[in-house]
Structure 1
Amino acid sequence: MESTEPQRYRFTGHERVFHNVSAIEALPEVMALFGYQRAFVVCSRSIRRKTTWIDRLHARLGDLIVGITDEVGEHSPLSNVLIAAKQARDARADVIVSVGGGSVMDMCKAMQLCISENAYDRESLLKLQFVVSGDGTEMLTTSQAPAAIRQIAIPTTLATSEWTPVSTPIDDETRLKARFVVPDGSPEAILYDPALLQQTPVRLLWATGIRGLDHAINTACSSSPHPFASLLAEKAVALYIRHLPNLGDTTATDSFTQCQLATWYTGMGQMSVPHGFSHWMVHIIGPYGDIAHSDAACVLMLAQAKWLEGWVTPQHDRLLAAIGQSDTPFHAILHDLLAGLGMPTTLDDLGLTRAQVEAMIKPALEHPLVTRNNVRPIKTAADLRAVLDLAWRA
């Protein structure tokens, strides 16, 4: 019998997506398309200091660039957000251009919120954290100001931050993730440049690709699924699993393009359905353990697949069919993928101790979404310990 539950699809505000392009060549035309003349560039330190890409972009855009910063940092510290927002304001930028991964794009979204709300100190910004809808399925902005500035994103990783208006920079003082839904925070345009992607260290590509895969799996196995989002997620999962292993070979150019396409499929659906434990527990393990989101996602994705075994059989069956391995348990496929890439599969691999993980139980219970929207319930400290126990062993 088909479900009669109402289903919502959320468009996240993108105007243009350019796939398989040279971002350096395309960006001036994209800026002209939207009438922008003063770009403030936020980039990763590695892309600025270890490659010539930003120098080449600057040479191409010339006076269209009014400022550049690579002071981003892991998890986008709020202190860096506030400094960069003031720099962009003082430079009279009319658009922010992000060149980097999730930390860079998250920082740009938070910068947009600072500029739109005229909030340039920690206390003013933290007052704008999102709230959760009454049924717990949707994140709602508390910002009332219209967007004063937008972002054009040029992603260098595969974790899909370019597809959401959500920003979760870390609060320097508490080491907790702040939580914002930024009005018009999704980039106005995305430029997918596979040649630029090839300049990202392969280990980082694999890790962020796993984070994107985790998003897709959470969409496909959501507690409130949407048929369109699930269809896209199933396709994304198949593309990630097929093409991520090839990224160690820079001559496998099609795999770089296909992995960027997988992030597109994933991103088009992930804001429409609630995600479960593995998506949100990363926000606890990351800052508390000083661990990259993507590394934590590897371990939690695998633990969640084990936790849900037998609870989401139709969803896992569709994913297995998309992958073409219907006779293998889904968690086993994920384990083999992670092991083949040399990625962590256990909390031990992340260097965490039992005491450290135990200290994360209380903030996880206090987080508004870690214990909500899980098909197999995770409500109590005992539930959290049970699912995390699955992450201690491969």
Structure 2
Amino acid sequence: MRQGSFSIPPMERVFFGRPFVDVVMEEVERLGAQRVFLLVSNTLNNKTGEIRKMQDALGSRFAAIYDDIPAHIPRDAVLRATAVARAADADLIVTIGGGSITDAGKNVQLCLEHGITELDQFEPFRLKTDPATGVVEAPVFRGPTVRQIAVPTTLSGGEFHQSGGSNDPVKKLKQSIRHPLMIPRTVVFDPALTMHTPLGLWLSTGMRAVDHAVESFYSPFGSPFVDGTALQALRVLPAALKRTKRDPQDLEARAEAQAGMWLSQMGMWSLVPMGASHGIGHVLAGSFHVPHGHCTCVTLPAVLRFNKPVTEAKQKLLSEALGDARRETADLVAELIDELEMPNRLHKVGVQRADFALVARNALLDRWTHSNPRKFKSEQEIVDLLETAA
């Protein structure tokens, strides 16, 4: 008999299909915020009028803005953003942008709560994984009182996670910090706002959502609820992504993609551990600066094939959700990657065979490599997997 648990994090509302400025103002009023700090995409702030509309609507409640968060969230950028929020006496953070902006907001929350001003002060809060056993040390600490509203413009889904990643500039590793109150109080999906997102970024982060659904579904730690949402996500996402590629102006397709991504995140939302596609992907992102969506495109088919001996029955259901129960799940995913014209091999994202040993070693420092359905017996097994994606 299957056993497990399902946890519900302290997220209060998800809005979809409405203009983000209207929704954010309703939430600012509901929460009684008086000093709103905007942490936003540089492109949205400097090349569109969207952020100006938000500032104007806030009026006297606008406290400050920061728009210089690079990809993969280097911690020195987090500290600079925190300094601006602290000086403005912010009582609410509104993030508008992709996954790096959302996760930066979570890290700023932590820094505000615990007075973090130096890089080494992150260390006591981060999750630590024993590379030999996979045992995770999760520090217990006071959660943030300044919370976040997230307005995502990609499909990476970080707004549904209780953890926030950031990059250690010394170790060149992406590391996670987790607390239930780091998850946004409110998420706002505005498909019209995503028209400013580069199409390649939209599609690649859509593949990241596919990865979330796949690894949630065949995780040994899933639940009936997550099974249902993950399979429905895989029924929705591929068609929505293909429609958007054919016609980037199709708002209905963008809204469908956001809905599919939302469904794909229910595993992460309820703390279901992911697998090796995510674990290896964290290393590719943190150490080699590969965009997260591209990490999925080069790792997921290979990981699916590696895991097939222990997930064959579940992979048949994944294939059915993807449209053809007779086909291999890895082949269906690979075809979708090709149809979206995403990079599909490690060398295409700048990772060479000479890097594989480092990738394997660092992957064993990631908790999700150890929660993969098929256990890795050695670093060499990870190197062998990487060879299949070279």
TM-score of the superposed pair, with normalisation by structure 2: 0.94
Cα distance change of structure 1 residues 179 and 209 upon mapping to structure 2, 3 Å threshold: same
Find the partner of 1:269 among 267, 270, 286: 267
Give the conservation status (yes or no) of the 8 Å contact 1:112–1:182.
no
Query: Which residue in 2 is equivalent to 1:336?
Result: 335
Partner of 1:36, secondary structure, is coil
Query: Which residue in 1 is equivalent to 2:9?
Result: 12
Cα distance change of structure 1 residues 70 and 36 upon mapping to structure 2, 3 Å threshold: same
- The alignment status of 1:61 with 2:58, answered yes or no, reads yes
Query: Which residue in 2 is equivalent to 1:358?
Result: 357
Q: Deviations over 1:150-193 (max 9, x none)?
A: 00000000011000111111012221112200340110000110
In structure 1, C-alpha distance between the alignment counterparts of 2:21 and 2:301, rounded to whole Å: 37
Letter of the 1:386 partner, please give it: D
In structure 1, C-alpha distance between the alignment counterparts of 2:355 and 2:137, rounded to whole Å: 31
Matches within 5 A, 1:179-190: 179-190=176-187
Find the partner of 1:105 among 94, 102, 107: 102
RMSD: 1.8
1:140 positional shift: 6.8
In structure 2, C-alpha distance between the alignment counterparts of 1:243 and 1:147, rounded to whole Å: 36
Judge which range, 263-272 or 116-125, deviates more.
263-272
Unaligned runs of 5+ in 1: none
1:283 positional shift: 1.1
In structure 1, C-alpha distance between the alignment counterparts of 2:59 and 2:230, rounded to whole Å: 40
Q: Deviations over 1:251-288 (max 9, x none)?
A: 32211111111121122222432211001111111122
Partner of 1:170, secondary structure, is strand
Letter of the 2:183 partner, please give it: S
Bigger share in helix = 2
Q: Deviations over 1:209-251 (max 9, x none)?
A: 1111111110011022211111101111121112111123133
Letter of the 2:272 partner, please give it: V
Query: Which residue in 1 is equivalent to 2:380?
Result: 382
Give the conservation status (yes or no) of the 8 Å contact 2:135–2:367.
no
Matches within 5 A, 1:230-379: 230-248=227-245, 249-270=247-268, 271-365=270-364, 367-379=365-377
1:350 positional shift: 1.1
1:149 positional shift: 0.5
In structure 2, C-alpha distance between the alignment counterparts of 1:23 and 1:82, rounded to whole Å: 27
TM-score of the superposed pair, with normalisation by structure 1: 0.93
- The alignment status of 1:92 with 2:89, answered yes or no, reads yes
Judge which range, 192-201 or 322-331, deviates more.
322-331
The size of the alignment, in residue pairs, is: 386
Letter of the 1:51 partner, please give it: T
Give the conservation status (yes or no) of the 8 Å contact 2:162–2:180.
yes
In structure 2, C-alpha distance between the alignment counterparts of 1:68 and 1:379, rounded to whole Å: 48
Cα distance change of structure 1 residues 364 and 201 upon mapping to structure 2, 3 Å threshold: same
In structure 2, C-alpha distance between the alignment counterparts of 1:209 and 1:138, rounded to whole Å: 30
Find the partner of 1:169 among 166, 169, 187: 166
Q: Deviations over 1:66-119 (max 9, x none)?
A: 111111001011001111112111101100000011110111101111111122
Query: Which residue in 2 is equivalent to 1:160?
Result: 157
Partner of 1:309, secondary structure, is helix
Give the conservation status (yes or no) of the 8 Å contact 1:222–1:375.
yes
Unaligned runs of 5+ in 2: none
In structure 2, C-alpha distance between the alignment counterparts of 1:140 and 1:215, rounded to whole Å: 23
Query: Which residue in 2 is equivalent to 1:41?
Result: 38
Q: Deviations over 1:326-382 (max 9, x none)?
A: 1221111111111111101111221221112233222223x0425412222213012
